[in-house]
Structure 1
Amino acid sequence: MSNRFRSDRRLTVRMTVTLFLFGLLYVLFVAALIALLKSWVLVLVVAAGFLAVQYWYADRIALYAMRGRIVEREEYPRLHGVVDRLCAVADMPKPRVAVADMEMPNAFATGRNADHAVVCVTTGLLRRLEPDELEGVLAHELSHVAHRDVAVLTIASFLGVLAGLVVRFAFYSHMFGGGRRDQNTAVVFSVVMGISAAVYVLSFLLIRVLSRYRELAADRAGALLTGRPSALASALTKVTGDIARIPTRDLRTSQAFNAFYFTPALGRHPHLGRFFATHPTLEQRIDQLGRIAVELGQPAAPGSGAGKAG
């Protein structure tokens, strides 16, 4: 798709390497299945079915899960106006616009391509952000749409889905048919479960790495599109601080969808499990936006490391 979102070559290289590792892991995994199982085709078909449903209906599933609804211009004219302007500047089709009635300030984009995309913001976000901050957040989300990030992550997650299904398939087959199997068969199923579990863990970690790269790329592309990285930095700081004050019960509900969000719902222990995080840290994102501001000849965002003596 042709659009005016600028790309980051360094991040593109990193994402390419990560996807290559996904492909290599997939080939090794399938080779192991072929060598060890005679009925692996059934698992592959089931996993492909899950992939197809997730890929074709990602927008509907995400909206339903996060209580979002499509809104028309008459209901939210300011929101539609910002999306219209950004899409015109980016030279891309306008996605559907949705609002989720949630106190937690956040936003997300979903859909397999620009023609089936949805950009959704929460009512908590609309109440908290200034116009230029909202524009920065929406530019970030539109970058996800323009670069088909949902489709990329859906395809990447296929390996993890497949590995998880193989673990379950091997476990239940062994458990319910254990009395009718010889020792060699039991060893084969144990090996399959071990390989599948290892592949699932590696896939889980690679998806997190890929997701963090995509978030940094979306921050950069959105900041360059608007020409105001400081506004996006301000929105990030404000939203992250306000999320920390959201009741723990509401955060737990939202954490399952962290990979979709503009910034994750981290709860009261944001430093735990950074290696497993779907997003870069706030400091990394602010520092990158500070460097972009310097590139554009603007003052670095407050709190960023850009402009400091090395």
Structure 2
Amino acid sequence: MSSTRFAPDRGLTSRMVVTMFLLGLLYVAFMGILIAVGVQALVVLVFAGGLLLVQYFLSDRIALFAMHGREVSPQEAPELHGMVDRLCAMADMPKPRVAIADSDVPNAFATGRNQQNSVLCVTTGILRRLEPQELEGVLAHELSHVAHRDVAVMTIASFLGIVAGLMTRFALYTGLGRSRDNNGGVPIGLIVMLVSIVVYAISFLLTRALSRYRELAADRAGALLTQRPSALASALTKVTGDMARIPNRDLREAAPFNAFYFAPALAKGTSIANLFSTHPPLERRLEQLARISAQLGRG
């Protein structure tokens, strides 16, 4: 990772190492079981690897296309570009491409495999709702994701889940579930499907746990860069509160992209266990920002 002035986070590094180690261990065990039961997993691995490469190298373009974002020039959005210029200078990092998505859902996201190939996008909804200092806090949070290569890390971490999901479909659609071993025992496909489901569930929980911590790390890095944790806390509170006034249909359309967003888009009445969430609870994020504010001796 290129050096920036974003505050280092040893907790983030250690969690990333532990999560990647556990995912790697799980991957080895999964492949060992597949080989042991005689499954030729090469086709699935090649297909999953292709998906991973496409997601890795084209994540910025895919995200912009999916979320209807449009790159804007400094002449089209001078204030937004000015904020990004200032924050990039403070963080000593290259400036990402800047985009705006025409959506009333108040949110922002940054994506790209590295600092040289990244895009930062905000919605028209968040531009209308936030004060300049609040928006600056959100942008600093998103730039932290770029600086720490969070998209690349999460893409790689998701590889095992993709393989497990594809193996489950492979067992269901190829008739593998009807084939039995030489002793007429349990169908090989059933073994593959059950193992794949377990592997997918474990990898899903591990990547979600890593995603939640990376959001906390981005909050911390962004607050320390701007030295205004209260502005980021205010933005979080506004965005989360205003989300409740967005039509359910719009929230459902935005929900598949929660992993990218500054704050998750959840439809009203939705109750999702924190264990399965891409983001930590609002209360935990605000508590961390309050501690940082106290440490800095200001808001």
User: Where does residue 308 of structure 1 map in the other structure?
Assistant: none
> Which residues of 2 match residues 1-310 of structure 1 at below 5 A?
1-174=2-175, 178=178, 184=184, 187-299=187-299
- Offset of residue 104 of structure 1: 0.7
1:302 is matched with none
Partner of 1:306: none
| Cα distance in structure 2, aligned partners of 1:8 and 1:235 | 23
Contact 1:19–1:156 (8 Å) recurs in 2 = yes
The TM-score, its normalising length taken from structure 2, stands at: 0.95
Count of matched residue pairs = 298
Q: 1:13-70: per-residue Cα shift (whole Å, max 9, x none)? A: 2332222211111111111122123421111111101111111111111111101011
In 2, Cα distance between the equivalents of 1:216 and 1:179? 47
Give 1:9 deviation, angstroms. 1.9
Counterpart Cα distance in 1 of 2:296 and 2:269: 35
Contact 2:71 2:97 (8 Å CA) reproduced: yes
Q: Which amino acid aligns with 2:133?
A: D
Q: CA deviation at 1:129?
A: 0.6
Cα separation, 2, equivalents of 1:248 and 1:269: 10
How many angstroms does 1:178 deviate by?
4.0
Identity of aligned residues (%): 64
3-state secondary structure, aligned to 1:120: strand
Deviation beyond 3 Å, 4+ runs, structure 1? 177-186
Q: CA RMSD in A?
A: 1.7
Structure 2 letter corresponding to 1:113: N
Greater Cα offset, 18-27 or 285-294: 18-27
Q: In structure 2, how many angstroms separate the alpha carbons of the residues matched to 1:179 and 1:201?
A: 25
How much does 1:266 deviate? 1.4
State the 1:172 CA deviation: 1.6
- Please state how far the C-alpha of 1:184 moved relative to its aligned partner: 4.3
2-side partners of 1:34 and 1:90: how far apart? 48
Give distance in 2, aligned partners of 1:179 and 1:190: 9
The answer for unaligned runs of 5 or more in structure 2 is none
Task: Name the CA shift for 1:159/1:180 in 2 (closer, same or farther; >3 Å).
Answer: closer
Scaled by the length of structure 1, the TM-score of the pair is 0.92
Report the 3-state secondary structure (helix = DSSP H, G, I; strand = E; otherwise coil) of the residue aligned with 1:112.
strand
Q: 1:179 to 1:142 in 2, by over 3 A?
A: closer
Which residues of structure 1 form unaligned runs of 5+? 300-310
Contact preservation (8 Å) 1:112, 1:148: yes
* Structure 1 residues 92 and 184, CA gap change in structure 2 (3 angstroms): farther
* Cα displacement (A) at 1:207: 1.3
Deviation of 1:186 (Å): 5.9
The answer to whether the 8 Å contact 1:178/1:186 transfers is: no
The 1:38/1:272 distance shift into structure 2, 3 A limit, reads closer
